[in-house]
Amino acid sequence: MLDQGTRNGTTVAFPIKTAEIALDEIGYVGWHATVRLNPRSSVYDQLLSFEGEWWAAFGQIVLDWNFVSEQGDPVPLPRAVASEKELDLPYGVLTFLFARYLEAVRAATEVPKGPDASSSTTSRTSDASQPSG
């Protein structure tokens, strides 16, 4: 019997799935953020709570970004500051990033639709009738 977390005796690391979110369409040309699409469920729940812990969760989700201030200084990542007030980013940046993140998670976790009624079986190993041709 294999230990939990191993396959064929080899440890299998928990995969970190990511997406890039570009902010070009709201006027921040060249700005992008790398976000984690598969955080732990507790982190995702904290993010959606909009209570005190949401910022800590946001810090675990935003892995990297290339944001800079008006003076050209790098803007710290969310995990490096205690709250969004310390970053003082424009409201539109945070709301856009948050909305696009939720869209990316939804797309990444969507269950694919099954075949519709008009689909035919094309498997050569199926007992069902095969299309002629």
Listed by start position, the domains of the chain span 14-109
- Least trusted range by pLDDT, from 49-53, 101-105, 106-110, 124-128: 124-128
DSSP state of 72: S
Query: Residue 110: pLDDT above 70?
Result: yes
- Nearest-CA neighbor of 98 among 52, 43, 51, 61? 61
Q: What confidence score (pLDDT) does residue 122 get?
A: 47
- Least trusted range by pLDDT, from 10-14, 50-54, 84-88, 101-105: 50-54
**Mean pLDDT, all residues of the chain:** 83
Whole-model pTM above 0.75? no
- Here the tokens at position 11 are 């440890």
The rounded distance, in Å, linking the Cα atoms of 48 and 51 is 8
Torsion angles phi and psi, residue 58, rounded to 5 = -60, -40
The rounded distance, in Å, linking the Cα atoms of 53 and 48 is 10
Query: Residue 30: pLDDT above 70?
Result: yes
